[in-house]
Amino acid sequence: MAHAGLVGAKSSGYKTIVYVICSVAALGGLLFGLDQGFIANSLETIQRHYQLGVQGGEHYSSILATGGIVGALLAGLFARFLGRKRSLLVAGFIFTAASALSALLPPLPVLSACRFALGFGVGVASFVVPLFLSETAPAPIRGSMGTLFQLMITIGIFLISLTNVLIARTFMNPVTSLPLMFLTITLFAALMFLGGFVLPESPRWLMLKGRREEAVAVLRRTLNTQHEIDVEIEEIEQALHGPQGAGAVIVMRGYFIKVLMVGVLLQVFQQLVGINMMIYYSPTIFGYAGIKGLLATMTVPTVNMLFTFPAIRLVEKWGRKKLLYVGAITMLVTMIAAGVTFQAVGSVSNPAMIGGTPKAVLLASAILYIFGFAVSWGPVVWLVCSEIFPLEGREIGMTITTMVNWTFAGLVMANALSFMQAHGNASIFYVFAGFCVLAVAFVALFVPETKGITLEEMEFNLKNGVRLRELGNREPGR
């Protein structure tokens, strides 16, 4: 295998253009974050203007996930036939247009259709951005560059949460505040759309399409030496010598089914540890405990953004698996603490009568929970899913895993508040804690460590029958 030469020839640093390309591409994550953060601090305004109750608010919120599922389904076709770059441009355009139309405050069915379109755009972006980053960034920094996607999600959540709070406090009338909220999203989305024009195409997609000279030209921009370029091209060509044009048939191949199940369950657990309940409904949940104001509205988005920065370094220093362990255990402890807190104050009918200690415990639990997710299951799941699939099935693997993510995100969004109303505020936290336990066991048994190994090396191991949790080992079995 040619990978030995790559390790030996590794340069001490990377061109600035590598970081520029990856940062611009990661702006697709901004779309994801904008709409996640948008609901948290605008839902009350939307409910007031459109006269929605709790279930109506949940339904409007979860439409995004439905669009995300459809977007992820078609994103594989976009990525295969249009390329990674053009697919990002499609997502940016749809998101910009749907946000601008929403600012007109159309009738609820039209607004809901716009939210579906927003979800469609985000579904495409959530598929294409991790794929583009994994295929473009050099292997030794692929983890750091891959986490930029999640970082942009958290920045988007923070920015839109902050602007929505400021708008809602400045303009009390929903007829004025809601259009400004949607126009803010439009501005950020347009930035991502325009930025997409400066991106190159993924060299692996170009090689998949037989456009070798264009792939070499892209690698000349991102790699330091001709030797590195030659080795990269050789590894991609070796991967392409495998079965090509398999399409959906690849899901019947044993080696593909194995990594597909890893990707699917990673995405399932990413949602069932409860993150979207905290992102979308944290102001509402804090309100149940009598916590109001900026503390309720800005704690989660601020902590989520700040704690994602360490993941950029830790994902290469500690590796993927260690971060997943740390995150799941942290979330487990904090979910139990939050559940016990709500159970202790469950008999208090007036949230204003809840004492300071339960509020402090709940707030600390939320902060530590977000820390646990932001440094681990947030960025690492998207990263691993973009790394583990063989080249000829990468689009369909990412399609399925991204659809699973959106499906379970929708389940959480559509049912979390109703579940709390039906079974008590503490109940949902214990459910999520149980999934944290299952997540730890799953990581230990099946998830490979993918730090520092090229995509082609992992593909070689996979097709040669290496056990799942050893796919990232250069010398499996040791």
Condensed to tens digits (0 to 9), the pLDDT of residues 160-194 reads 888 888 888 888 888 888 899 889 889 888 888 88
Q: How far is CA 246 from the centre of its chain?
A: 27
Alpha-carbon distance of 438 to 431, in angstroms, equals 11
Alpha-carbon distance of 244 to 231, in angstroms, equals 21
Alpha-carbon distance of 400 to 408, in angstroms, equals 12
- Residue whose pair of structure tokens reads 């809602």 in the numeric block: 168
pLDDT at 375 over 50: yes
pLDDT at 218 over 50: yes
Question: pLDDT confidence of 350, banded at 50, 70, 90?
Answer: low
Q: How far is CA 30 from CA 38, 372, 421, in A?
A: 12, 21, 32
pLDDT at 2: 39
The arithmetic mean of pLDDT across residues 33-38, rounded, is 76
3-class secondary-structure state, position 454: coil
- Residue whose pair of structure tokens reads 């024009």 in the numeric block: 197
pLDDT at 116 over 70: yes
Lowest-confidence pick of 231-245, 427-441, 455-469 = 231-245
Quote the tokens at residue 465: 């029958």
Alpha-carbon distance of 379 to 89, in angstroms, equals 22
Smallest CA-to-CA distance from 63 within 90, 98, 11, 25 is with 98
- Name the residue with higher pLDDT: 125 or 14: 125
- Whether the Cβ atoms of residue 406 and residue 123 lie closer than 8 Å to each other: yes
pLDDT at 113: 93
pLDDT at 347 over 70: no
pLDDT at 10 over 50: no
Question: pLDDT confidence of 334, banded at 50, 70, 90?
Answer: very high
pLDDT at 138 over 50: yes
What one-character DSSP code corresponds to residue 424?
-
Q: How far is CA 158 from CA 84, 367, 448, in A?
A: 27, 14, 32
Give the chain's mean pLDDT: 83
